[in-house]
Structure formats: C-alpha cells, structure tokens
Amino acid sequence: MAVERAQGDRELRNLGRRVAELRIERGITQERLAERLDRDIRYVQEIEGGRQNVTVRTAALIARVLRVPIRELFVIPKMRATSRLRRVPTRTVRKK
C-alpha cells in the first residue's frame, strides 16, 4: 500500500511539473491558466506542486488550454523541481 501511494505521489509531482513546464514554455501565467480552467489560482498551484489529483476531464481541459495532446501531460518533465521552472533563461548577446 505504501509503495502504491509513493508511486502515485511521484506521478502527481511529475504531472504538476509537466503542466508548469508546458505553461511556462507557452508564456502563460498561473493566473491566466486558472482563468482558462475557470478555477482559482491556488488550484493551479496545487496541481503544479503535485498536491492536487486531477480528473481526466480536468487533464483534458488543461491539455486543450496548453494546446497539446493530453498524452503530453504525462511525459516525464525535463526539469526536476518546479522552482527551477520559474527561472526564465535569458539569452546573452555578444558584442562584436
């Protein structure tokens, strides 16, 4: 039972990280995603933090808002921690 719960917790964290990753890649704020889902921003924060289990309907709606196939939400995220996702990489312009 504990092993199953740990696996489920890992899956929720991965789903949340992936949602955050896709959202950031598309330049969408948590607030805007929450508006599009017709939910409170805390709900999005809970999803991205791996603390909110989502229904299939909600996953499908998130995928639609992010304009990805639903299966993309279940791809292992590139980033390991959500806090790292918040750092927006900047390009360095070299002077000639």
CB atoms within 10 A of CB 34: 17
Domains of the chain in start order, with CATH, are 2-78 (1.10.260.40)
Task: Give the model confidence (pLDDT) of 36-68 as tens digits.
Answer: 999 999 999 999 999 999 999 999 999 999 999
Q: What is the pLDDT of residue 88?
A: 44
Say what the pTM is.
0.76
User: Mean pLDDT over all residues of the chain?
Assistant: 85
Is it the case that residue 77 has pLDDT exceeding 70? yes
Q: Band of the pLDDT at 8, cuts 50, 70, 90?
A: confident
- Spell out the long-range contacts of 38-44 with Cβ–Cβ below 8 A and sequence spacing 24 or more: 44/19
